[in-house]
Structure 1
Amino acid sequence: MRYEITKKFKFEAGHRVWKQNLTSGKGARLMGGEIPPNPCLNIHGHSYKVEVTVGSDTLNEQEMVIDFYHIKAALKDLIDNKLDHSFIIDKNDPLYPSFKEHFGFLKLFVVDFCPTAEAIAKFIYDFLTEKLDEAGLLEDIKVVSVTVWETETGKAVYRGQ
């Protein structure tokens, strides 16, 4: 893309990385035999920051990729009404049936993936891509990347192909 713009968002949410196992997988060999607890198995929350970058090879009649307002409008319901102050839970999480039964009064945002920062970035990427497609804008404007900051020092980026 010759031109890119980035819009930032913030939301507060809880989650649980129910698949976390620090003693197996790609990174386990970095630990040197130390066996730590798996803290993200616990219910916890973050002040998420999201950066959405869209791009185009051409500018519109207003000499923009797209107005920042339009990107905000496309994501407003998802960010402000669904994700913000919710508990993001994978419907495949073994705790999900208990949450649904005993905590139905909570604002649950049910997904079909383990809610890691990487997976949330891809989810937002796919959501915005679908919105652009529904509006007939996908030929001109592409989602370049979505970055999800879980903490001040940890982020995940999903880029399209």
Structure 2
Amino acid sequence: MKYEITKIFRFEAGHRVWKQDLSRGKGAKLSGEKIPENKCINLHGHSYVLEVTVGSDSLNEQEMVVDFYHIKSALKSLIDDVFDHSFIIDRNDPIFPEFQKLFGCYKLTVVDFCPTAEALAKYFYDYLTQKLKEANLEEDIKVVSVTLWETATGKATYRGE
């Protein structure tokens, strides 16, 4: 893309990375012999920062890729009404049935994947890509990347194809 713009959003949410097992997987050998406890398997929360970058090879009649307002509008209800101040939980999480019984009266965001930063970045990418398609803009404007910051020092980026 010749031109790119980035819009930043902030929201608060809790989650649980129920699949976390620091003793296994690709990175286990990086930690050596001493493996810490799997902290993220516990219920916890983050002050998320979401960076959405869209691009185009040409500018519109207003000399923009797209107005920032429109990107904000496309994501506002998803972020404000669905994710902000919710608990994000995978319906496949073994604790989900009991959790839903106990906490279903609170704001839950139920997803079909373990809510890691990487998986959530892809979720937001796919959502905005669909919004652009529904507005018949997918030929002119592409989602370049979505980056989700969980902490001030940890982020995940999804770029798609």
Structures share fold, TM-score greater than 0.5 = yes
Which residue pairs with 1:68 in the alignment? 68
Task: Please say if 1:58 is aligned against 2:58.
Answer: yes
Q: Could you list the runs of 5+ residues in structure 1 that have no partner in the other structure? A: none
Which residue pairs with 2:16 in the alignment? 16
Task: Please say if 1:91 is aligned against 2:91.
Answer: yes
- Correspondence 1:144-159 to 2 at 5 A: 144-159=144-159
Which residue pairs with 1:135 in the alignment? 135
What's the % identity of the aligned pairs?
72
Which residue pairs with 2:42 in the alignment? 42
Please tell me the residue identity of whatever aligns with 1:103.
F
- Residue by residue, what CA displacement relative to the aligned partner does 1:50-94 show, whole Å, maximum 9, x if unpaired? 000000001001010000000000000000110000000000000
With normalisation by structure 1, the TM-score equals 0.99
Please tell me the residue identity of whatever aligns with 1:151.
T
CA–CA distance in 1 between the matches of 2:85 and 2:120? Answer: 15
- Residue by residue, what CA displacement relative to the aligned partner does 1:118-152 show, whole Å, maximum 9, x if unpaired? 00000000000000000000000000000000000
- Residue by residue, what CA displacement relative to the aligned partner does 1:99-133 show, whole Å, maximum 9, x if unpaired? 11111111000000000000000000000000000
Which residue pairs with 1:7 in the alignment? 7
Which residue pairs with 1:122 in the alignment? 122
Please tell me the residue identity of whatever aligns with 2:15.
H
CA–CA distance in 2 between the matches of 1:69 and 1:141? Answer: 15
SS of corresponding position for 2:30: helix
Which residue pairs with 1:30 in the alignment? 30
- Residue by residue, what CA displacement relative to the aligned partner does 1:17-48 show, whole Å, maximum 9, x if unpaired? 00000000001001111121000000000000
Structure 1 residue 16, shift from structure 2 partner: 0.0
SS of corresponding position for 1:121: helix
CA–CA distance in 2 between the matches of 1:8 and 1:102? Answer: 34
Structure 1 residue 98, shift from structure 2 partner: 0.8
Moved over 2 A (4+): none
